[in-house]
A and B are shown apart, each in its own frame.
Chain A
Amino acid sequence: MKGFGRYILFLGTLVVRMESFKTYYRLTLEECLQIGLKSVALVALVSSFMGAVTTVQTAYNMVSPLIPRYVISQVVREMTILELAPTIIAVIFAGKVGSSMAGGLGTMRITEQIDALEVMGINSTSYLVLPKIVASLLMYPLLVIVAGVCSMVAGYLVGGITGIITPTDYIYGIRFYFDDYSVTFAMIKSFVFAFLISSISSFKGYHTQGGALEVGIATTAAVTTSVIAVLSADYLLAQLLYVR
């Protein structure tokens, strides 16, 4: 509880004694490039395999001839939009971006770079952490969209190449009984997950004390805590928002 209290206080310091809008604009753009653009390739790769595997596994498990083939792509669509794209990519995001945030801030802390900012009269939390959180909120939903598209395209290609499902059936399944609330739900999830990962990782990194060993510990803690928070939030959001 003490740690949670410190986390809430930490979030409170993000919006006090702020610098000019221009400063945050520039920093946020830099973070967007770092967080978004440099993660696209990894997200595309992982999500493509997710889509391909989901297609193959679903087809393998559908043994009844009474179930039409287009259900395969319907399952791929629902799994991708609701769970695989926002949640699995969140785990990847925590591992790549969260650890980088915690490691970077932890190193800045132990090499007195954060102290240097404070001595200059700059709110280091706001200056360093707020652009990371804003950039994550902007970039993560886009990454989730990229993941969703890549996953479904990979399913289409694998289904067609292996003969599991015809392209026509696949497209039919993707469009069959589509509820656009799934996309809204996925976007809500992605905003929540982006906030949790970026804020928790920054919190862990910012409060690093000691040396290189502690930076490593903070980085590990950032990833594990973020992942636990994401999975907990995933369950809570499913309970709260997915009511038909």
Chain B
Amino acid sequence: MLKINHISKSFAGRIVIEDISGEFKKGHTNLIIGSSGTGKSVLLKCIVGLINPDTGSVFYDLRNFTDADKEMKAEIRREIGMLFQGGALFDSKSVEANVMFPLDVLTKMPMDEKLDRVNFCLQRVGLENVNKKMPSEISGGMKKRVGIARAIVNNPNYLFCDEPNSGLDPQTSILIDDLIGEITHEFDITTIVVTHDMNSVMGIGEQIMFLFKGRKLWEGSSNDITHSGVSELDDFVFSNKVMQGLKKQQ
């Protein structure tokens, strides 16, 4: 379980996120949603420690991450897997080397075991015969899948995904969403996905946090999201034609 308490962050006097608290359950796909510029990615970066929040704390299974010393932070981070918006694959390394990277640096596993684990993770995300390809030789969707494989290779307890569907076609988006959902349940990890894609929300959103102008306005499940009674959330949810059609049917 992951808990955040009263997180606030401002840049050059401009408040980006303000007093956000919440709990993200283990074995669930937790979504942070909202329009562009509402502070979703900043909140995610505060949670993983890439940005220090001005106020508030992040707890990883009761371990205070925000106030932890560097060693403790490094230890917690080794339990984290993260899928970045653009994949963030290392350009100079092959697909296999990218996925193996966390094992190379963080473990003392023998080479054959590492290779087995890498092949298992690549197969798990539906990629085969791409081991020796370079990131520049594969498609955007494949990069995301390699990113997921790299994120799960070290058996993380927490998986973070920043806009996993950005720049992908609808079919590949669904594939990536399903993969994130399946991996979360299969390995019983705490997954947090930052997205503004309503397909993801309806597809894998088990617990959803809605941000608006840097504040948390609503929290609930995908079953409740269409009748939340929060006008800002309704505007967000029913901003696409499919959802508008659904609303009319209701």
A112 with B78, Cβ < 8 A, contacts A119-B48, A120-B105 known: no
How close is B208's CB to chain A, nearest CB, in angstroms? 23
B86's contact among A23, A111, A121, A123, by CB below 8 Å, is which?
A111
Contact B88 A113 (CB under 8 A): yes
Contact mask for chain B residues 128-168; partner A; CB cutoff 8 A; 1 contact, 0 none: 00000000000000000000000000000000100000000
Task: Point out the residues of chain B lying under 8 angstroms from A188, CB to CB.
Answer: none
Contact B78 A113 (CB under 8 A): no
Q: Which residue of A lies closest to B150 (CB)?
A: A116
Determine the distance from Cα of A23 to Cα of B74 in the docked complex, in whole angstroms: 17
Contact mask for chain B residues 30-56; partner A; CB cutoff 8 A; 1 contact, 0 none: 000000000000000100111000000
Contact B102 A120 (CB under 8 A): yes
A112 with B75, Cβ < 8 A, contacts A23-B105, A119-B50, A119-B80 known: no
Determine the distance from Cα of A111 to Cα of B102 in the docked complex, in whole angstroms: 18
A121's contact among B75, B84, B89, B90, by CB below 8 Å, is which?
B75
Task: Point out the residues of chain B lying under 8 angstroms from A23, CB to CB.
Answer: 104-105
Interface residues on chain B, size class: 20 to 34
Contact A17 B50 (CB under 8 A): no
Task: Point out the residues of chain A lying under 8 angstroms from B76, CB to CB.
Answer: 121
Determine the distance from Cα of A119 to Cα of B154 in the docked complex, in whole angstroms: 13
Task: Point out the residues of chain B lying under 8 angstroms from A120, CB to CB.
Answer: 77-78, 80, 101-102, 105-106
B82 at the interface (CB under 8 A from A): yes
B186 at the interface (CB under 8 A from A): no
Determine the distance from Cα of A90 to Cα of B75 in the docked complex, in whole angstroms: 41
A122 at the interface (CB under 8 A from B): yes
B85's contact among A16, A112, A113, by CB below 8 Å, is which?
A112
Interface residues on chain A, size class: 10 to 19
Contact A119 B82 (CB under 8 A): yes
Task: Point out the residues of chain B lying under 8 angstroms from A112, CB to CB.
Answer: 84-86, 88
How close is B95's CB to chain A, nearest CB, in angstroms? 15
Determine the distance from Cα of A111 to Cα of B78 in the docked complex, in whole angstroms: 21
Task: Point out the residues of chain A lying under 8 angstroms from B241, CB to CB.
Answer: none
Looking at A107, A112, A116, A123, the one whose CB has the most chain B CB atoms below 10 A away is A116
How close is A12's CB to chain B, nearest CB, in angstroms? 12
Contact B70 A16 (CB under 8 A): yes
Contact A116 B105 (CB under 8 A): no
Contact A121 B106 (CB under 8 A): yes
Q: Which of A93-140 contact B (CB under 8 A)?
A: 107-108, 111-113, 115-116, 118-123, 127
How close is B5's CB to chain A, nearest CB, in angstroms? 21
How close is A232's CB to chain B, nearest CB, in angstroms? 33
Q: Which of A72-110 contact B (CB under 8 A)?
A: 107-108
Determine the distance from Cα of A116 to Cα of B70 in the docked complex, in whole angstroms: 17
Task: Point out the residues of chain A lying under 8 angstroms from B88, CB to CB.
Answer: 111-113, 115-116
Task: Point out the residues of chain B lying under 8 angstroms from A122, CB to CB.
Answer: 105-106
Determine the distance from Cα of A118 to Cα of B160 in the docked complex, in whole angstroms: 14
Contact B82 A17 (CB under 8 A): no
Q: Which residue of B lies closest to A119 (CB)?
A: B82
Contact B105 A17 (CB under 8 A): no
Contact B73 A121 (CB under 8 A): yes
Can you report 5 A-B residue pairs in the complex whose CB atoms are below 8 A from each other?
A: A113-B90, A116-B88, A120-B77, A120-B78, A121-B80
Q: Please name 14 further chain A to chain B contacts, defined as beta carbons within 8 Å, in addition to the given A115-B88, A120-B102, sorted by A numbering.
A: A17-B70, A17-B74, A111-B86, A112-B84, A115-B50, A118-B49, A119-B49, A119-B77, A120-B101, A121-B73, A121-B75, A121-B78, A121-B80, A123-B74
- Which 4 pairs show the lowest CB-CB distances between chains A and B? A121-B77, A112-B88, A121-B74, A116-B88
Binding site for B on A (CB under 8 A): 16-17, 19, 23, 107-108, 111-113, 115-116, 118-123, 127
Binding site for A on B (CB under 8 A): 45, 48-50, 70-71, 73-78, 80, 82, 84-86, 88-91, 101-102, 104-106, 160
